Amino acid sequence: MSLRRFRALLVKESRQILRDPSTFLIAFVLPLILLFLFGYAVSLDIREVRIGVAQQDDSQEAASLAVAYRNSPWFDVTMAPEPRGLEPDLVAGRIRGIVVIPQDFGQRLIAADRTAEIQIITDGAQPNSAAFVANFAEGVRATWAAQRAAEAGVTAAPPITLVPRFWYNAELTSRDFLIPGSIAIVMAMIGTLLTALVVAREWERGTMEAMMATPVAMAELLASKVLPYFVLGLGSVALCTTLAITVFDVPFRGSILALMALSSAYLVPALGQGLLISAATKNQFVASQMALILSFLPSMVLSGFLFEIPSMPPVIQAFTYIVPARYLVPSLQTVFVVGDIWPMFWRGIAALLLFGLVFFVLAIRVTRRRIA
């Protein structure tokens, strides 16, 4: 390892980064787009779901229940006298469910047994929304019934009262989880995609061949690729964090040190994977495809960033263990929303470094000083 050659390669690489608009695009513009996308456009919270209420009964009780639905923050209600009038909207997906208050609702409520039924029709094609509509429609009814009973002076309180409290994210805003998670995605882009592209480009343009014919050691060549992109990756993390806190009001309860330690640990396997992909493909197009499929998509889908791992089928859960981002996303979310929990971080960092070691060993073995 010659310090002089290494320095020369670093200077060259840094110049190329500064001059190449596409590097800038991937390292700074793309993270911004992702951040804004997850910050504003994508939300896993459900509010104001559009439903229809078919009020077949014109009794006072029925009207009161209908008002309860209309006043609920969860629903945006379209009223109709008959379910038939709402069915086309449900079929077309304009509403997610129909609450039918039947003709005899008021009568049965006043009658001796005091049991009255309502019907809830949901769109099973979207199971999550359907379950949500069913549960919350039932909830609104129960609250309404309890209130009515209280007004009538009867305490018909349910045997157990549930008062939920959500820790750390009291309002359950998904943004507070999504934005820290998207920082992991951004690092996957820079670490793997960008590195894979720039090394593959050297093979494509024939400069790798020229480099290999000089006294340069392969280790120097690889290291000169890794270091600048490591710095670039951390820079991008810093940018994203600043935006997350200032623009998106995401809480930051942990320490900068923990954030940087986690990010650095994650960049090791990301860069290693990028080097491995480019050395194996030597072609920018194939390298970018591989980086997207092997790094970007799993980080997105299998890391617990968008979908909770415990609710995945067991086979898919098993797959998540070989996705490095899986060991980063929970820790990142913790740093932002909870604070420093070092025992958790150390486990994540250890797993990430282990992945990094595997990727780098493979990359060095594949990158031989030969053309073919």
Partner 1 sequence: MTDPAATAELDAVTRRFGKGGTPALDNVTLQIRPGRMSGLVGPDGAGKTTLIRLLAGLLDPDAGAVTVFGHRATATDRARIGYMPQRFGLYEDLTVIENLRLYAELRGLPDSARAGRFAELLRFTDLTRFQGRFAGKLSGGMKQKLGLACALVETPDLLLLDEPGVGVDPVSRRELWAMVQQLTGEGIAVLWSTAYLDEAEKCDEVFLLNEGRLIHAGPPAELTREVTGRTFRLLAEGRGRRRLLTRMMDRDDIRDATIQGASLRLLTAAGAAPPDDTQAVPPRFEDAFVDRLGGGPKGTSALAESYRTIPDTGVAAIEAKGLTKRFGDFTAARDIGFTIPRGEIFGLLGPNGAGKSTTFKMLCGLLTPTEGQGHVAGHDLRHARAAARQSLGYMAQKFSLYGDLSVRQNLNFFAGAYGLTGAARRARIAQLTEVFHLGPYLRQNAGGLPLGFRQRLSLACAVMHEPPVLFLDEPTSGVDPIVRREFWSHINGLVQKGVTVLVTTHFMEEAEYCDRILVIYRAEQIALGTPDELKADAAAHTGRADPTLEDAFIALIEAHDAEAEAAA
Question: Which positions touch partner 1 (CB under 8 A)?
Answer: 2, 4-5, 7-9, 11-12, 15-16, 19-20, 205-207, 209-216, 369-372
210 vs 297, beta carbon nearer partner 1: 210
80 vs 216, beta carbon nearer partner 1: 216
Closest approach, Cβ 216 to partner 1, in A, equals: 5
Convert 176-202 to b/e letters by CB count within 10 Å (16 or more is b): bbbbbbbbbbbbbbbbbbbbbbbbbbb
2 vs 60, beta carbon nearer partner 1: 2
| Cα gap 135→140, rounded to integer Å | 9
Both structure tokens of 4: 């002089």
| Cα gap 144→69, rounded to integer Å | 9
| Cα gap 202→283, rounded to integer Å | 9
1 vs 372, beta carbon nearer partner 1: 372
Angle at 322 between CA 27 and CA 361, to 5 degrees: 75
Closest approach, Cβ 19 to partner 1, in A, equals: 5
Closest approach, Cβ 278 to partner 1, in A, equals: 17
Closest approach, Cβ 369 to partner 1, in A, equals: 7
Strand arrangement, sheet containing 97-101: 75-80, 49-55, 97-101, 119-122
Closest approach, Cβ 5 to partner 1, in A, equals: 5
Both structure tokens of 285: 């197009």
Both structure tokens of 344: 């958790």
205 vs 347, beta carbon nearer partner 1: 205
